[in-house]
Homo-oligomer: A and B are copies of this chain.
């Protein structure tokens, strides 16, 4: 994911037109990106440095950026995906996950949260990602491969509510319908002091999960919601955007202790 400075064949590039129009493309010879503002021959970018301007056939300026993990996540198609970048940042800091962490995660879904975690456990950590729905696994793998993060992930087609294979992991991170069913297994899988983090859209999920955590020797239990507002900044016209996302989900975190 860390690009060299010069664009090469096979690189992923984010072609930026404006804040609403950004195209994630793979540089291949002969490939053309068609947009409402004209087309771009992607091979023309080979040898340019990242950040370079390229004009479309209609003369509009596009910029060739190296995609960040956030750019990838925004572009991953997400039938099941409801975690936003704002939530991922909070999950990361609440879980304490960083380079070298061994993390169990479920469900994989399209791999957005998986990729985010994988990016941050590099180079010697690992994400064990559980997904019961077989149809998601191929898609998630393709997404992770595109992000060059598949090496840091082990996707498991298994039901995490039945058990977790790993032991002594640093964190268990859940984005699934019934996180409370995983609490006893998370306790078994975590090292002493390890982190449990769960993301849930409804308050009833949160209540059940918190109650189950209290029954299973977890402490430092906290629940948050995170609201993010985009500000339109322009001298004389500065104001928050009219519309915002009012809710994605609640984030609950806890730490395993030993009685």
Which residue of the partner chain, among B63, B94, B96, B204, contacts A238 with CB atoms under 8 Å? B204
Give the interface centre of A19, A90, A249 by most chain B CB atoms within 10 Å: A90
Tell me the nearest residue of chain B to A202, going by C-beta: B239
With A122-B99, A227-B227 known as contacts, the answer to whether A240 contacts B233 (CB < 8 A) is no
Q: Contact residue range for chain A? A: 35 or more
Question: Does A46 sit within 8 A of B, measured CB to CB?
Answer: no
A233 nearest in chain B by CB position: B210
With most chain B CB atoms within 10 A of its CB, the pick from A22, A98, A256 is: A98
The listed residue with most B CB atoms (<10 A of its CB), out of A52, A233, A258, is A233
Tell me whether B219 and A16 are in contact (CB under 8 A): yes
- A66, CB-defined interface residue at 8 Å: yes
B53 touches A255 (CB 8 A): no
Q: Write the residues of chain A forming the contact surface with B, with a CB cutoff of 8 angstroms.
A: 1-3, 5, 16, 19, 22, 49-53, 63-66, 68-71, 85-86, 88-96, 98-101, 116, 119-120, 122-124, 168, 170, 191-195, 201-204, 206-207, 210-211, 219-250, 252, 255-259
